[in-house]
Structure 1
Amino acid sequence: MPNFNKYVRDFWQPRRGLAIAEACVIGVVAALSAVFLRFSSGWLGTFRVSTSYAIPAILALPLIGASFGFLAGFLVERFAPEASGSGVPQVKASLANIPITLTWRVAAVKLVSAILMLGSGMTLGRQGPTVHVGAALAAGMSRVFPTSPDHRRQMIAAGAGAGLAAAFNAPITGILFVVEELLQDLSGLTLGTAIIASFIGGVVSRLLGGRSLQLNLELIESKSSFIITELPFYLILGILAGLLAALFRQGLLLSLSYYRKLRVSLTLRIALAGLISGIAIAMLPEGFRNNTGLRLFIIDGQPSVYKVMLVFVAEFILTLVAFGSGAPGGLFAPSLILGSCLGYLVGVVEFQILGFSTPNTYALVGMGAFFSAVSKVPITAIMIIFEITTDFNLVLPLMIGSVTSYLVADKLIPGSLYAKLLQLNGIDIDTEMPINSRFINLTAQEVMQRQVETLQEQMTVDEAIQAFSHSTQRGFPVLDNTKLVGIVTQSDLMKIREGKLSRDAPVSEIMTSHPITITSKHSLSNVLYVLDRHQISRLPVLEGRRLVGMISRGDIIRAEANYLNCKSAPNQPKIKPSYIVYQTQSPSTGQGRLLVLVANPETAETLLGLAATIAKYNFYEIECLQVVIISRHNNPAETPVKTAQSRGLLLSAEIMGKKWKIPVHTQIRVAHDVANATLETIKDRNINTVLMGWKGGTSTPGRIFGSVVDTIIRQASCEVVLVKLGKNLNTKLKNNSLIPTNFSSCLVPMAGGPNSKIALKLLPALAASNNKLKINLTQVFPLSETKLDTKLLQAARHQLIDMYKLSNQITSVPLRSDSVAQGIINLVKTDESDVVLLGASREGMLQQAIKGNIPEAIVYGVDCTVILVRGMTSEQ
């Protein structure tokens, strides 16, 4: 059996034969989906047109447009939001190693929603969706077998090319579009798989579409001629196409922005677009009801100038209406129709002046020119018209018109339309930079480990050894009052084994002083150079003199692997500022503000009770915050969200505030990230203390408390209070009490230094609301220590009595144990404490609450409530 498994793995390893076979399958599957899309949308279109004759068009067309648009939007929004829009930008981003979802689910939703969209009568094309569907099918297939990232990209490109080839019945066009717009890759295997998939896709599409393999495709038999005197008219056509295409592109971007400002769901946006399209088409001549037939009407018929101008204006406006809504449709077909109208009008003028060519010839050239200027693919534009007509006489006029329009449009609005659509969603693709170069230009800030365990300079070597034994970290920065002064690695501990130093010696005796460091802005190429130059495995990352992270060779390897597998990328959508969608304010009568993150209705009352306890004692106001998370591809200021449940929770907080006579302000923010929204609130509202619930641990690799809490602890410019609620805690509050009813005994471990003062700071607030609260102060001593120094405990006890005037029962309990955490856990169970209060400085809280043990060890060992307090530091 092991040999068989090895044979299967070896057989499916990426190689040329497998890539060619997979490209063949992709070509067939993409063609089948394209044919299904064509016939299904055609059937729905026929139904829509026939219904408009059976029922008054002004009723039938808007109703069908809105209902089909609603169904299409619901499918996309509910099952695959990635299936919205054209689909070409998503494929382009995926091929640039941006983590965009391309799966069979996306392909299925795109296919069905595109059929509904086309059936609704919206003036979008099916070619963009076929590109998206082909690429998604290929991506899904590439995940079935253990292939390389390069192999996956090749298959996605082949699927996109096959989809376009099947949509247009133009194999060469599919190949050129992949090379010119999507991949910019001319390597042998990539080009070979794209050629095979596109060829098979085109052939299968023609056969199943009822056409022969001859190159007389879906338009006309064009017999044109070209003479040199027509050159100025083709130049004029190119210039006009470039100008109007630039206007069209700008209109598309403005339409997308406008729809997002409506703050309604994608489903309603697409339904609205279908309704508007239906009303407009019902008011236009009957020929507009068959959108597919408009292009044939312009090229193959003899329309009047008035009708052609009407088609151009109507198609221009209705495409902006439909595309801006996010409907799953493409821009290829609208671009060709607009170009044919523009070319026909120029041809009429030329025929009136020179009388050489017919306007239909100019219509064909106009199609290529407008398509070239919109999509910025002049070679593809030339070839698509040539494959459609097989007329060699059109090649030179197409080259003149397409290249001229491309240059004019690029001068007015540089860059790819699809890249700009991605930028609108926060994704920036530098198409001029190779993928490997983009990775190597990542900065240390994007790759480093932010959660770093550190040692204090005054710690002993024995404590450093304990830190190494309890951590997977192999190098510890040494800090002196938050400033980096050295680094201790495993090799430094060899000095102990060699007998050069005792375990009681300070860490400063074995650390490497003035270690080599980098800044967070250093690129990975610089980081790799420094690591190799000094033959070291890790580097501290600084901002000024403040330690913000560590980066190692392993971090770089992990980041590169994630990047190649599209799990992360340097061009991920950037986090935008949060947006306030709901806010209430009470009179500002307090001396400070306490921020409470309200998320879980089951624990909200208890957290608010603790917040009120602290606020009452410190004369603070309470600020309640709810954060609604959205995708980074959406703009918080433009994304509609439901806030009914959140408002209800915040309203209950306002009611509690009135009962407690404490000012309570509330707000709901739409954001990409909870931590960033919280930090923005802290800054905007001048928060003094943050109170957060905490589940007690995290499953996130590289995190200590969790991604949100870790970020807030490191970056918040105020005190931070974390609360892990006990399992048996009674969350209901008494009428005359702010803290939970069964808080009767509080254990406060003391460790000396500044942490002790921070731990004691919250006690007066808790005791002020419950004068029966029993307070136990404890300090853990090693079993080997015979004489216990309890000066710290006695000083803390006197401080609570003399400074804070507490009348509660306060006891001091020295404790012997080799494990600080286990000693505290045992004491909690023995004394049946209700709450454990841990104090820590910023660095201490993230690495070790009490002499080498992080609070997580204590939290997991007790069932009672645990409160962790991080005080202000000098750097803040």
Structure 2
Amino acid sequence: MQLTHSQSKKQNSPDAATRSQIVNTYRSLNHWHSFQFKLFWEGIIVGIFSGLVISLFRFLLTKAEEWRTDLYEQLTQLPNLYTAGWFAALLVIGAVLYKLTIYEPMAGGSGIPQVKGVILGFMRMNWFRVLWVKLAGGVIGLGAGLSLGREGPSIQLGAVTAQGISRFWGRSRMEERYLITSGAGAGLAAAFNAPLAGVIFSLEELHRNFSAVVLLPAMTAALTATFVSRVLFGRGFIFSFYGLPPFPHIHLLYAVAIAVIAGLCGVLFNTGLLNINKFYGLPVFKNLYYKIAFSLLCAGLLGFALPQVLGGGNLLVNELALKTFPLQLLVTLLIGKFLFTLISYGTGVPGGFFLPMLVLGALVGSICAHFLLAFHLIAANHAANVIVIAMAAFFSASVRAPITGTVLISEMTGSFSHLMILGITSAIAYIVAQLCGSQPIYEALLLKNLQSHSTPDPDVVKEERDIVEVPVSSGSIIENKKVKDIPWPDHTLLVDVKRGPDQLVPEGNTIIRAGDFLYVLTKTETADEVRALGSDLRK
């Protein structure tokens, strides 16, 4: 295959492993249709194994949360000595979580920023260590009552499962990125019983473009993982919003107001997550163990005072959908869940904020519904609609993935008659977050991780070479330009151009068109600059 060199002629000689990766990638690009067909079947394999891993995770979490609920019920009836023993046990649990977090830092937190970092080429994961540490740490932390979610960890578990399959098969890094993206989507699909949301999340949030080569394995992986999950757990929805009536069009202004309020709350949530390290920077928190112990002791106290805020919180959402809560209790739950989620996530132990974020959105919606009902602006049977709208808007403002939020909430509640209103409110919340200058939370957390050098051997990662897929947007700076006139970064090679079903051999006079997919060999440290060429608009 003919290669087009960048303006710089300086080239570093790649090592044997890198040369092998490049040769394998060239073969895939030269046999594109068979490569896509192979990814289709590999997606099914990834979906099967990811579905089994996530199902195990869900089962263990369910048992751990049932055990915790029974424990607190019994402790209220037993002498205080047993309660003191439980708090001592929480300190021991903190020590276990501390050891696990120190042993494998890449398994800390939700795992979604790490998955994005791996897909972008900025991070490397030891897939087996991350898998068992995430599994064990997630079950222990959520079982002890920390306000963390299973969905972020499920996404990372699906991703590392796919990475393990890729390593077993000896796939190239380009192919491995596609499989990791598919595994991550399968993890979300199996965790939420939401296959469409898993596919959209893979494309919209992780891969950041709707490439057909990603779509095929992402679909097969998500659908297969959901099938495995449903065989083991049934077809029930995550949230109990049964028989939701259509939201009247005359209430559209109310929906807009709810979206604005939930969007502002999502911005506040992001600000809290990104700045909780300032709280944990106080002198009293001498090391990581003190942070973890503090959060677990808070969980112990809340287990008696406000048990609804412990754990992920999906049961609380179900109660909000079926019961009427006093306003004072709703505000208390919102403040308690908000603060305890920040405290829990700030420790860095395995566990995410995906589900707690939706719970916060549901609480915001419940408070909005309370006022709308008090002023007789909506009928009582539309209160649940307000909760659903607020969840989608809160998610969209925080994650900046409005399509994923719309589809996800629809699948989780089992109501697709609300797609239009959810789409409208998600878009409004997205704009609210943009106007407030809030960053997408997972991108912001990834940037913090990279800046803190918490990734393994960052300098080595930067020196590695990889094939980057660059979709060319309409109006971008390289649209209608000849290859030789494009300002390529140093040490960059244009390897291949895909134009619809056609494959072009790139030459200096080849003109790049909108809709093309470019495959570029470059260093990790210049990969973002190369990707930006396809999306940066002409000034």
Q: How high is the TM-score relative to the length of structure 2?
A: 0.74
| Structure 2 equivalent of residue 32 of structure 1 | 52
Taking a change above 3 Å as real, the CA distance of residues 67 and 562 of structure 1, as seen in their structure-2 partners, is farther
| Structure 2 equivalent of residue 129 of structure 1 | 153
Could you tell me which amino acid in structure 2 is paired with residue 358 of structure 1?
H
What is the CA–CA distance in structure 2 between the aligned matches of 1:200 and 1:335, rounded to whole Å? Answer: 27
Taking a change above 3 Å as real, the CA distance of residues 266 and 32 of structure 1, as seen in their structure-2 partners, is farther
Could you tell me which amino acid in structure 2 is paired with residue 266 of structure 1?
L
Corresponding residue to 2:252 among 231, 253, 278: 231
* Alignment of structure 1 residues 259-298 onto 2, 5 Å: 259-260=280-281, 264-284=286-306, 286-288=307-309, 291-298=313-320
What is the CA–CA distance in structure 1 between the aligned matches of 2:250 and 2:491, rounded to whole Å? Answer: 62
| Structure 2 equivalent of residue 67 of structure 1 | 92
Taking a change above 3 Å as real, the CA distance of residues 527 and 400 of structure 1, as seen in their structure-2 partners, is closer
Taking a change above 3 Å as real, the CA distance of residues 561 and 186 of structure 1, as seen in their structure-2 partners, is closer
1:282: how far off? Answer: 2.3
Taking a change above 3 Å as real, the CA distance of residues 59 and 226 of structure 1, as seen in their structure-2 partners, is same
Contact 1:103–1:140 at 8 Å: present in 2 too? yes
What is the CA–CA distance in structure 1 between the aligned matches of 2:93 and 2:214, rounded to whole Å? Answer: 38
Could you tell me which amino acid in structure 2 is paired with residue 253 of structure 1?
L
1:319: how far off? Answer: 0.4
1:374: how far off? Answer: 1.2
Q: Please tell me whether residue 569 in structure 1 is matched to residue 529 in structure 2.
A: no
Contact 1:63–1:278 at 8 Å: present in 2 too? no
| Structure 2 equivalent of residue 346 of structure 1 | 368
1:375: how far off? Answer: 1.1
| Structure 2 equivalent of residue 176 of structure 1 | 200
What is the CA–CA distance in structure 2 between the aligned matches of 1:35 and 1:77, rounded to whole Å? Answer: 26
What is the CA–CA distance in structure 1 between the aligned matches of 2:146 and 2:315, rounded to whole Å? Answer: 14
What is the CA–CA distance in structure 1 between the aligned matches of 2:109 and 2:449, rounded to whole Å? Answer: 12
Secondary structure (helix, strand or coil) at the match of 2:397 reads: helix
Q: Please tell me whether residue 77 in structure 1 is matched to residue 102 in structure 2.
A: yes
What is the CA–CA distance in structure 1 between the aligned matches of 2:47 and 2:88, rounded to whole Å? Answer: 37
Secondary structure (helix, strand or coil) at the match of 1:358 reads: helix
1:54: how far off? Answer: 2.2
Taking a change above 3 Å as real, the CA distance of residues 425 and 355 of structure 1, as seen in their structure-2 partners, is closer
What is the CA–CA distance in structure 2 between the aligned matches of 1:570 and 1:65, rounded to whole Å? Answer: 45
Taking a change above 3 Å as real, the CA distance of residues 282 and 60 of structure 1, as seen in their structure-2 partners, is farther
Contact 1:76–1:84 at 8 Å: present in 2 too? yes
| Structure 2 equivalent of residue 44 of structure 1 | 64
What is the CA–CA distance in structure 1 between the aligned matches of 2:444 and 2:101, rounded to whole Å? Answer: 22
Corresponding residue to 1:147 among 168, 171, 181: 171
Taking a change above 3 Å as real, the CA distance of residues 33 and 358 of structure 1, as seen in their structure-2 partners, is same
Secondary structure (helix, strand or coil) at the match of 1:98 reads: coil
Could you tell me which amino acid in structure 1 is paired with residue 412 of structure 2?
I
Return the index of the structure with the highest Cα Rg.
1
* Alignment of structure 1 residues 233-248 onto 2, 5 Å: 233-248=254-269
Contact 1:63–1:275 at 8 Å: present in 2 too? no
Corresponding residue to 1:21 among 20, 25, 41: 41
What is the CA–CA distance in structure 1 between the aligned matches of 2:297 and 2:527, rounded to whole Å? Answer: 37
What is the CA–CA distance in structure 2 between the aligned matches of 1:295 and 1:524, rounded to whole Å? Answer: 50
What is the CA–CA distance in structure 2 between the aligned matches of 1:355 and 1:422, rounded to whole Å? Answer: 41
Corresponding residue to 1:331 among 353, 362, 379: 353
1:205: how far off? Answer: 0.7
Contact 1:351–1:358 at 8 Å: present in 2 too? no
Contact 1:123–1:319 at 8 Å: present in 2 too? yes
Could you tell me which amino acid in structure 1 is paired with residue 268 of structure 2?
L
Q: Please tell me whether residue 161 in structure 1 is matched to residue 180 in structure 2.
A: no
Secondary structure (helix, strand or coil) at the match of 1:42 reads: helix
1:63: how far off? Answer: 4.4
Contact 1:48–1:61 at 8 Å: present in 2 too? no
Corresponding residue to 2:138 among 114, 125, 128: 114
Could you tell me which amino acid in structure 2 is paired with residue 306 of structure 1?
Q
Q: Please tell me whether residue 207 in structure 1 is matched to residue 228 in structure 2.
A: no
Taking a change above 3 Å as real, the CA distance of residues 225 and 143 of structure 1, as seen in their structure-2 partners, is same
What is the CA–CA distance in structure 1 between the aligned matches of 2:146 and 2:446, rounded to whole Å? Answer: 23
Provide, for residues 27-86 of structure 1, a one-character-per-residue CA deviation record: whole Å limited to 9, x for no partner: 1111112111112112122222222222249646644544334322311212x1110011
1:340: how far off? Answer: 0.7
| Structure 2 equivalent of residue 105 of structure 1 | 129
What is the CA–CA distance in structure 2 between the aligned matches of 1:59 and 1:42, rounded to whole Å? Answer: 25
Contact 2:247–2:382 at 8 Å: present in 1 too? no
* Alignment of structure 1 residues 605-754 onto 2, 5 Å: none
What is the CA–CA distance in structure 2 between the aligned matches of 1:391 and 1:44, rounded to whole Å? Answer: 30
Provide, for residues 67-121 of structure 1, a one-character-per-residue CA deviation record: whole Å limited to 9, x for no partner: 334322311212x111001100000111111133251221111111111111010
Provide, for residues 319-366 of structure 1, a one-character-per-residue CA deviation record: whole Å limited to 9, x for no partner: 010111112111111111111111112122222322335322211111
What is the CA–CA distance in structure 1 between the aligned matches of 2:443 and 2:296, rounded to whole Å? Answer: 26
Of residues 138-147 and 170-179 in structure 1, the stretch that sits farther from structure 2 once superposed is 138-147
Contact 1:49–1:289 at 8 Å: present in 2 too? no
| Structure 2 equivalent of residue 361 of structure 1 | 385
* Alignment of structure 1 residues 497-508 onto 2, 5 Å: none
Contact 1:343–1:366 at 8 Å: present in 2 too? yes
Q: Please tell me whether residue 185 in structure 1 is matched to residue 141 in structure 2.
A: no
Taking a change above 3 Å as real, the CA distance of residues 59 and 403 of structure 1, as seen in their structure-2 partners, is farther
Taking a change above 3 Å as real, the CA distance of residues 98 and 246 of structure 1, as seen in their structure-2 partners, is same
Could you tell me which amino acid in structure 2 is paired with residue 24 of structure 1?
I
Provide, for residues 467-495 of structure 1, a one-character-per-residue CA deviation record: whole Å limited to 9, x for no partner: xxxxxxxxxxxxxxxxxxxxxxxxxxxxx
Corresponding residue to 2:112 among 60, 84, 88: 88
Q: Please tell me whether residue 305 in structure 1 is matched to residue 327 in structure 2.
A: yes
1:135: how far off? Answer: 0.5
What is the CA–CA distance in structure 1 between the aligned matches of 2:340 and 2:86, rounded to whole Å? Answer: 14
Taking a change above 3 Å as real, the CA distance of residues 261 and 81 of structure 1, as seen in their structure-2 partners, is farther
Could you tell me which amino acid in structure 2 is paired with residue 23 of structure 1?
G
What is the CA–CA distance in structure 1 between the aligned matches of 2:416 and 2:314, rounded to whole Å? Answer: 26
What is the CA–CA distance in structure 2 between the aligned matches of 1:344 and 1:422, rounded to whole Å? Answer: 32
What is the CA–CA distance in structure 2 between the aligned matches of 1:216 and 1:115, rounded to whole Å? Answer: 22
Secondary structure (helix, strand or coil) at the match of 1:399 reads: helix
| Structure 2 equivalent of residue 198 of structure 1 | 222
Number of aligned residues: 435
Provide, for residues 186-214 of structure 1, a one-character-per-residue CA deviation record: whole Å limited to 9, x for no partner: 222211000000001111111111x14xx
Corresponding residue to 1:376 among 400, 413, 418: 400
1:571: how far off? Answer: 7.8
| Structure 2 equivalent of residue 424 of structure 1 | 448
Identity rate of aligned residues, in percent? 28
Secondary structure (helix, strand or coil) at the match of 1:569 reads: helix
Q: Please tell me whether residue 411 in structure 1 is matched to residue 435 in structure 2.
A: yes
Unaligned ranges ≥5, structure 1 = 1-8, 429-433, 439-522, 530-559, 573-876
Secondary structure (helix, strand or coil) at the match of 2:525 reads: coil
Unaligned ranges ≥5, structure 2 = 1-22, 29-34, 453-466, 472-486, 494-519, 529-539
Secondary structure (helix, strand or coil) at the match of 1:255 reads: helix
Secondary structure (helix, strand or coil) at the match of 2:450 reads: coil
Taking a change above 3 Å as real, the CA distance of residues 86 and 413 of structure 1, as seen in their structure-2 partners, is farther
Could you tell me which amino acid in structure 2 is paired with residue 317 of structure 1?
L
What is the CA–CA distance in structure 1 between the aligned matches of 2:237 and 2:470, rounded to whole Å? Answer: 45
Taking a change above 3 Å as real, the CA distance of residues 426 and 527 of structure 1, as seen in their structure-2 partners, is closer
Provide, for residues 402-428 of structure 1, a one-character-per-residue CA deviation record: whole Å limited to 9, x for no partner: 111111112213432111112222359
Of residues 100-109 and 363-372 in structure 1, the stretch that sits farther from structure 2 once superposed is 100-109
What is the CA–CA distance in structure 1 between the aligned matches of 2:85 and 2:61, rounded to whole Å? Answer: 17
Could you tell me which amino acid in structure 1 is paired with residue 99 of structure 2?
F
Q: How high is the TM-score relative to the length of structure 1?
A: 0.47
What is the CA–CA distance in structure 2 between the aligned matches of 1:61 and 1:336, rounded to whole Å? Answer: 30
